[in-house]
A and B are shown apart, each in its own frame.
Chain A
Amino acid sequence: MNNKNFRVSIFRIAQRSVHKSIFSQSTPIAYQISIIFSMVFFLTIFLACSSEDRISKEDALGKDRLFGIRVDDSLQPPNFILQDTDGNIFDFQQKTSGKVTLLYFGYTNCPDICPVHFANIAAALDRSPYEVRNGVNVIFVSVDPERDSPKKIREWLDFFDTDFIGLTGTDSDLVIAQNAVGAPAAFVSEVYENGYSIAHAAWIFLYTQDGSLYLKYPTGTRQAEWAHDLEALVLENWSHGSKGSKNNGG
């Protein structure tokens, strides 16, 4: 009982001291200001620490983690042929071997997901070292051949990065390509007075240089996550032996 009273007394004394030392109007202003600066400093550190932007590449690589979600091992790298924006034949397997390849099915009139995905990948690559930028193919396949001419695709991609590759083809070629990667075929979902929107896979598919790893990235993958994974995969800072435990669920 005495012990409890003692603790209560100590608490009250401490409470009064804090109140008197910080909040009293008689406390010197310099002292008050220095306390404020300290508080804001620590709150700011907390702000910085709570930011997902601070994902430490070293930590993540050390833990052998990738943000992409691992796809079934039984799926082989896709084999399909489309046409690039210069009108040349583009054999996917042949043209992408030896580089990490990001593959996405979308359309240039897409109001939200497509431009955000590409803006984030472009920004992540922009902050990456040269060897990483040089080791990545980013491929956009338009599932809207009616409106997306090769020229329009090229202009749209150039807005993000002039090295991005644009592909198109006939409706049947596009269905074959989507089936080859295990994506559902895109379809017109809504028709408006002056256009239409298309429902399409929102994932970005990733294939490693040797085709030994196949990941997919959902909408909401952050720039810092892209930068981390692309660097790890291009520089091969991930262990082949622990593929099964690689992904952390995105």
Chain B
Amino acid sequence: MEVSWWCSARPISWSWDPQFFPGIWVVMLCIIGSYFFVYVKSSKRSSSSDQRIATNKEKLSFVAGWVLLWVMTDWPIGVLGSGYLLSAHMLQYVIYSLVIAPLLVGGITNSMVSGYKDQWFFITIRSLISRPFVCFVAFNIVLAITHIPYFTDILKPLQLGQMLIDILWISVAILFWAAIGTFDDQSDVSLARAQKLLYIIGITLLPTIPGAFFVFSDFPIYTTYEFATRVFNGISAREDQMYAGLIMWMGMTPILLIRLAMAFFSWSEAESRRAGTID
């Protein structure tokens, strides 16, 4: 029996029988393994200076992001999104971009990466995240390209293609959130609060444009989902596409509101501190 190593669109009926994708397991274990390897190494390095590498909240943030990443990439959501339901694909995109990426970034501290400052990959990433606009452009270009039907329908049936889409989504999202300074005070990457808010509004509002095409299109846009066997009786390919558009619209809104509220309270607190009302 052929074992697939990554989720992809396959011309077979949907089944609720669990499936095992070794490629996804390997990547996920590598991610968490690397995180704790770096954490332990940094702890040893800084044991003399009594410096804290990451707070429990930061570690929890990374682990929560990692768990969500696995849930969104592996069976069943990964399989549904890769070849059966456009709405599952869109849910993956929204969660990857607006929840998982900031959680992962929130768990990586300056103390953890300080030992790698001279490494070429760190210099490259550092150079990228010091240009939030470039990361913003990359984020939106990846959004547009990975939703062009021509490319999507070619990439989705290939395991490597679906893997590429997953990696592109999470990579540009991580770059974006790192660039707008998710690890705020600990990072020397700084942007004015208003600019940060504008970027956050930008990435949550721009996807509503392609979302409109999904909602108002008369027919299914992607052949991958048009010819997939139905997962839920009574939900046609076009209805599924409409739900995908709504996820792009509605799914982004609460996340945007939460981010805006967080930013507002953070700003308010900072202002109060400055005014001396809080110790």
A119 contact from B198, B221, B230, Cβ within 8 A: B230
Chain B residues within an 8 Å CB radius of A223? 219-220, 226, 237-238
Q: Decide if B275 is an interface residue (CB 8 Å cutoff).
A: no
Q: Which residue of A lies closest to B201 (CB)?
A: A33
Chain B residues within an 8 Å CB radius of A227? 218-219
Q: Which residue of B lies closest to A224 (CB)?
A: B219
Q: Decide if B122 is an interface residue (CB 8 Å cutoff).
A: no
Chain B residues within an 8 Å CB radius of A123? 219, 236-238
A85 CA to B149 CA, complexed, in Å: 40
Q: Decide if B114 is an interface residue (CB 8 Å cutoff).
A: no
Q: A40-B209, A47-B213 are in contact. Are A53 and B220 (CB under 8 A)?
A: yes
Q: Decide if B4 is an interface residue (CB 8 Å cutoff).
A: no
B218 contact from A29, A32, A47, A127, Cβ within 8 A: A127
Q: Decide if B144 is an interface residue (CB 8 Å cutoff).
A: yes
Q: Decide if B13 is an interface residue (CB 8 Å cutoff).
A: yes
Q: Give chain B nearest CB distance to A214 CB in angstroms.
A: 25
Stretch at the interface among B52-60, B67-75, B133-141: B133-141
Stretch at the interface among A20-28, A58-66, A166-174: A20-28
A119 and B237 form a contact (CB under 8 A): yes
Q: Give chain A nearest CB distance to B59 CB in angstroms.
A: 32
A40 and B144 form a contact (CB under 8 A): yes
Q: In the complex, how many residues of chain A place their beta carbon closer than 8 angstroms to a beta carbon of chain B?
A: 38
B221 and A25 form a contact (CB under 8 A): no
Q: Decide if A182 is an interface residue (CB 8 Å cutoff).
A: no
Q: Which residue of B lies closest to A22 (CB)?
A: B133
Q: In the complex, how many residues of chain B place their beta carbon closer than 8 angstroms to a beta carbon of chain A?
A: 41
Q: Decide if A43 is an interface residue (CB 8 Å cutoff).
A: yes
Q: Give chain A nearest CB distance to B88 CB in angstroms.
A: 18
A112 and B12 form a contact (CB under 8 A): yes
Q: A41-B209, A127-B219, A220-B227 are in contact. Are A29 and B236 (CB under 8 A)?
A: no
A37 CA to B140 CA, complexed, in Å: 9
Within 8 A of B (CB), among A138-160: 159
Chain A residues within an 8 Å CB radius of B194? 29
Q: Mark B127-160, 1 if CB is under 8 A from A, else 0.
A: 0001101101100110111011110000000000
Q: A40-B209, A44-B210, A223-B219 are in contact. Are A51 and B149 (CB under 8 A)?
A: yes
A29 CA to B191 CA, complexed, in Å: 11
Q: Decide if B202 is an interface residue (CB 8 Å cutoff).
A: yes
A33 and B220 form a contact (CB under 8 A): no
B219 and A23 form a contact (CB under 8 A): no
**Residue from the set B131, B150, B227, B233 with the largest chain A CB neighbour count within 10 Å:** B227
Chain B residues within an 8 Å CB radius of A52? 149, 221, 223
A47 CA to B153 CA, complexed, in Å: 13
Q: Decide if B229 is an interface residue (CB 8 Å cutoff).
A: yes
Q: Decide if A18 is an interface residue (CB 8 Å cutoff).
A: no
Q: Decide if A46 is an interface residue (CB 8 Å cutoff).
A: yes
A33 and B198 form a contact (CB under 8 A): yes
A35 CA to B48 CA, complexed, in Å: 49
Q: Give chain B nearest CB distance to A10 CB in angstroms.
A: 25
A22 CA to B137 CA, complexed, in Å: 10
B13 and A112 form a contact (CB under 8 A): yes
Chain B residues within an 8 Å CB radius of A50? 148-150
A46 CA to B236 CA, complexed, in Å: 26
Q: Give chain A nearest CB distance to B173 CB in angstroms.
A: 16
Chain A residues within an 8 Å CB radius of B150? 50
B198 and A29 form a contact (CB under 8 A): yes
Q: Decide if B206 is an interface residue (CB 8 Å cutoff).
A: yes
Q: Which residue of A lies closest to B234 (CB)?
A: A159
A241 CA to B164 CA, complexed, in Å: 50
Q: Decide if B195 is an interface residue (CB 8 Å cutoff).
A: yes
Chain A residues within an 8 Å CB radius of B254? none
Within 8 A of A (CB), among B29-59: none
B227 contact from A36, A37, A39, A116, Cβ within 8 A: A116
A48 CA to B150 CA, complexed, in Å: 11
Chain A residues within an 8 Å CB radius of B218? 53, 127, 224, 227
Provide a sorted-by-A list of 16 A–B residue pairs whose CB atoms are within 8 angstroms: A27-B133, A29-B198, A33-B202, A36-B202, A39-B140, A43-B140, A44-B144, A44-B213, A50-B149, A51-B213, A52-B223, A111-B13, A112-B229, A115-B230, A120-B237, A127-B218
Given contacts A123-B219, A223-B219, 7 further A-B contacts (CB under 8 A): A36-B206, A39-B141, A40-B209, A50-B148, A51-B221, A53-B218, A120-B237
Return the 4 tightest CB-CB contacts between A and B, nearest first. A43-B144, A111-B13, A224-B219, A223-B219
Interface residues, chain A, CB within 8 Å of chain B?
22-23, 25, 27, 29, 32-33, 36-37, 39-41, 43-44, 46-48, 50-53, 111-112, 115-116, 119-120, 122-124, 127, 159, 219-220, 222-224, 227
